[in-house]
Amino acid sequence: VKKPDYLIVAFDLGEPTFRHTQYEGYKATRSECPVELSPQFPLIRQMIAALNIPVLEHPQYEADDVLATIARITEEQGG
């Protein structure tokens, strides 16, 4: 059982990222977000805010990129 010392959440902003400018077809074959899921995002954000969990997001990067950067920096600093 893991007991983390830290918790953060990263969200995509739904805007084109640097990958879209590098490759026009990036995610071209990916299906749209399910209609049932979209209305849940504001509720998820409210819950995260109520729990005082930090949220990271960047308009030019996907959430995966943000989390990977945090993981790399944490590892470089001995975490």
Beta bridge partners of 10: 56
Does residue 27 surpass a pLDDT of 80?
A: no
Q: What pLDDT, on a 0 to 100 scale, did the predictor assign at position 79? A: 83
> With left for phi above 0 and alpha for psi between -120 and 50, is residue 44 left, alpha or beta?
alpha
Does residue 47 surpass a pLDDT of 90?
A: yes
Q: What is the percentage of the chain residues whose pLDDT exceeds 70?
A: 100
pTM of the prediction? Answer: 0.77
